[in-house]
Each structure stands twice: as C-alpha cells, then as structure tokens.
Amino acid sequence: MQSRTGAVFDLKRFLLPKNNHWLRRAALVFAFIFFDYLSTLMFCRAPHEEANLYARVFMENFGIFSGLTLFVLIANMPIYMVLSLDSHIIKLPHKIAIVIEPLVDVLFAWFIAGLHFSGGTSWFWYSQDLLRQASGALLYLAAAFLFVKPHTVHNDN
C-alpha cells in the first residue's frame, strides 16, 4: 500500500518475521503462551480461580473464554510485533549475533516461556512457582537449541 507521500507501507513487515529462525523463535514462544491459554480454559471453572489479576478482570467482564482470549491477544501482541519487527530491522554482524541471539533466547525462556509454563502447569502441578518457571525455561532452551539454532551462521540480506 502506498501513501500520499509515496512511502510504501508493507503489512507483511509487521506480520511475518523476515527469516526462518525468527519465525521458529516466535512459534516456540507462542507454543508456551498457547499451552498456558489452553490449560487455563480447560481447568478454570470461575474467574476468581485465575491468579493473574489482569486476566481475571477480563474473564469477569467478558466471560471465561472471551475474556481470556481477548486478554491473551492484547497482552501478547506486543511480543509478536517485537519479534517480527526485530527480524526486519536488526542486522547484527555474526560475531555479535552469536552472543545476542542466545541471550535473547535466555530472556524469552525465563520471562515468557517460563512464566507461561508456570501459569499453565499451576492448574495441575502443585509445586513452587520457581521450580515450574525454571522447568519451563529449561524446556524452552532445549527446544530453542534443537529447532531455532541461533548459533548458526545465516545470510538473510
């Protein structure tokens, strides 16, 4: 789509990561988010059972299914947008990328995958939050190492 100023607005740039390892990373992150979403839908019988205050408010106002769905979409859209835009904007030299990309995976492992894994398993695994979160982070890192492989050289100019 072209604007009056002649600038081209490419919607694909906002919706699809540029290369496969960013797309795989986004799919892996959202697999953990989807796990949390499905386990909450399956086990939550009343909004007051949800530990996340913001999700609970959405569930109380819109119903369990609609509220949780709306909350997950709103809360996680920025994560996907950052992943997608970063894949188009950031072009790191290999020596820097070999350090930064695993660091990104560690941050995603702890703050996104670990938290969602802990939230999803809290319905049926009675253990400390820290143990559940660490388990989710380790699971994410193992999957990232196997499927994303941020340590490989890639040419995507």
Mean pLDDT over 53-81 rounds to 94
Domain of residue 132, residue span: 18-148
Evaluate whether residue 10 is within a structural domain: no
pLDDT of residue 157: 47
Evaluate whether residue 6 is within a structural domain: no
Specify whether the CB–CB gap between 57 and 48 falls below 8 A. no
Mean pLDDT over 25-31 rounds to 91
pLDDT of residue 1: 52
Evaluate whether residue 5 is within a structural domain: no
Mean pLDDT over 22-48 rounds to 93
Q: How far apart are CA 53 and CA 140, in angstroms?
A: 25
Evaluate whether residue 153 is within a structural domain: no
pLDDT of residue 151: 53
Q: How far apart are CA 128 and CA 53, in angstroms?
A: 19
Evaluate whether residue 54 is within a structural domain: yes
pLDDT of residue 95: 80
Closest CA to 37 of 9, 89, 75: 75
Evaluate whether residue 1 is within a structural domain: no
Domain count, the chain: 1
Evaluate whether residue 2 is within a structural domain: no
Residues 6+ apart with CB under 8 A from 137: 109, 110, 113, 114, 117
For residue 21, what are the CA distances in angstroms to 63, 90, 113? 36, 13, 17
pLDDT tens for 98-138 read: 787 788 889 999 999 999 999 999 999 999 999 999 999 99
